[in-house]
Amino acid sequence: MSVCDKLALYQDFERINSIDPAWYDAYDVKRGLRNADGSGVVAGITNISNVHGYVMSDGDKVPDEGRLTLRGYNLGDLIGEEDATRRFNYEEIAYLLLMGDLPHQEELESFVEALDAERDLPDGFTASIIMKETPPDIMNMLQRCVLLLYSYDVSAEVRSYEHEVKTAISLLSRLPRIAVLTYYAKQARFAKGSMIMHPFLPGSSTAETILSMLRPDRQFTPEEARLLDIMLCLHAEHGGGNNSTFTCRVLSSADTDPYAAYAAAIGSLKGLKHGGANHKVREMQQEIKDHVTCWENDDEVADYLARIVNKKAYDNTGLIYGMGHAVYTRSDPRAVILKRFAARLAAGTEFEAEFKLLESIERLSPEVILRERGIKKDMCANVDMYSGFVYSLLGIPEDLYTPLFACARLAGWSAHRFEELVSGKRIIRPAYKSTRRETRPWVPVEKRLTE
């Protein structure tokens, strides 16, 4: 037994850290910064985006179709229709988020050139950082690399707007390369795979760069690049209240450097209740695929969903992952868009049956929850219902699902950091109410009794 194993904290962890839920009601504390109806506590003002999922009428929360606008533009309009010749959609949206307006052609070309100029990592960075003690989770390496890039920046503590924009562009450019290189470093360390290090190709979009670096033969179709580009667009920004963006704002309000703020946001996104939820969704979907004999049989699918709801299958939490959202009620616009594109790509392929199974899970889940729990609520599929499926269509390994989410969301984090620096003005410092009333008498250590 180690010295640490002797500590009482291991045995008393829950007792020491438990708070009676009644205290939250007594002091009207908004747990998780959520109101009683599930809506978020308003903690700030933003011009960057709006996440709409319901309307308030006479104090009641009324479900509505989901809408996501970025700088006033509807997300669906920004993405447009299927067009494999549209190569820099994500770059357009990243520019919009950072600069406030959509770029004209010359501005877009200059932005792509600026990203190209920052793609190279510092000399020796891959060998000395990425390939050294590579962790089993790529998100931790993204954090490490972002923090260590601070040491290569002679102006890291400069808070000028010019430096903020340059740092954001540099990380937007480098993070996708770091993610792919870390994936291969992880394969080399834990699976005895090959360490593949393709150089980037100037003039490539972010999506093209990821596919080119990830695939050993560097080959991909315009349609594949377009679909990954759409994935990046869908994940680029989602309001100031999501956990990772709020994390970035909290750190930025403390006047810390951009590297620390973005690394913290990556740590938040890793969480299984946030960006890491896509792993839970794919695991659950795989279990359903393994245990449902006929995917086209609604009764059989519904029966297994009932087992999940009744805590008798998957992780025994009773949750159907990929269903429901903190804001969206009737529809998640990201899921609607992704589902449309995924349907076209899966049609007539080996993936079509799985796509139809996901549609069945989406359609049947509210009925099953109502039948098994007696709970009727407006519930829609969220973006994670189909995101992992789309990545599998593209042959992207699950290890990269959340890291690619982080690569995309860096544009939104940067925009919110910029806004916090200019308009926040105060350190974010909410209050915690202590439940302890009495003052405990101090006793010298030699006189304290052991139970």
Residue 81 is assigned to a structural domain of this protein? no
d(CA 317, CA 287): 14
Token digits of residue 446: 């030699």
Q: DSSP code of 440?
A: P
pLDDT tens, 60-92?
A: 788 899 999 999 999 999 999 877 788 999 999
Give the residue from 269, 231, 181, 171 showing the smallest Cα distance to 390: 231
Active site residues: 325, 384
Q: 282 with 309, same domain?
A: yes
404 shares a domain with 373 = no
pLDDT of 8: 66
- Considering the domain architecture, whether residues 178 and 123 belong to the same structural domain is answered as yes
Q: Is residue 110 part of a domain?
A: yes
CATH of the domain at 237: 1.10.580.10
Ranges under pLDDT 70 in the chain: 1-9, 450-451
| CATH at 371 | 1.10.230.10
Q: Let me know whether 267 and 361 are in one domain.
A: no
Q: Do 402 and 270 meet the contact criterion of CB atoms below 8 Å apart?
A: yes
- Burial bucket for residue 391 (CB in 10 Å: 0-12, 13-18, 19+): buried
What is the per-residue pLDDT for 451?
52
Which pLDDT score, from 0 to 100, does residue 376 have?
Answer: 83
Task: Say what the pLDDT of residue 156 is.
Answer: 97
* Position 269 in a domain: yes
pLDDT at res. 95: 98
For the four alpha carbons of 191, 194, 199 and 203, in that order, the dihedral sign comes to negative
Determine, yes or no, domain membership for 211: yes
Q: Does 338 lie in the same domain as 266?
A: no
Question: Could you tell me the sign of the dihedral formed by the alpha carbons of 267, 271, 277, 280, in that order?
Answer: positive
Q: Are residues 252 and 108 in the same domain?
A: yes
Residue 292: inside a domain? yes
Count of residues making up the chain: 451
Give CA torsion, residues 91, 97, 98, 104, to 10 deg.
60
Domain housing 136: 89-273+398-423
Number of domains present in the structure of the chain: 2
Q: Does residue 418 share a domain with residue 281?
A: no
Is 357 in the same domain as 411?
Answer: no
Same structural domain for residues 206 and 234? Answer: yes
DSSP code at position 53: E
Q: Is residue 54 part of a domain?
A: no
CA 296 from chain center: how many Å?
Answer: 31
> DSSP assignment, residue 394?
T
441 within some domain:
no
Asked if residue 257 and residue 134 are part of one domain, the reply reads yes
183 and 294 inside one domain:
no
For residues 311 and 377, membership in a common domain is answered with yes
Task: Name the domain boundary from 392, 409, 433.
Answer: 392
- Mark out the alpha helices in 254-328 (DSSP H runs): 258-270, 277-291, 298-309
Cβ proximity of 365 and 380 under 8 Å: no
pLDDT at 4: 64
> Domain for residue 434, yes or no?
no
Query: What global pTM score does this model have?
Result: 0.94
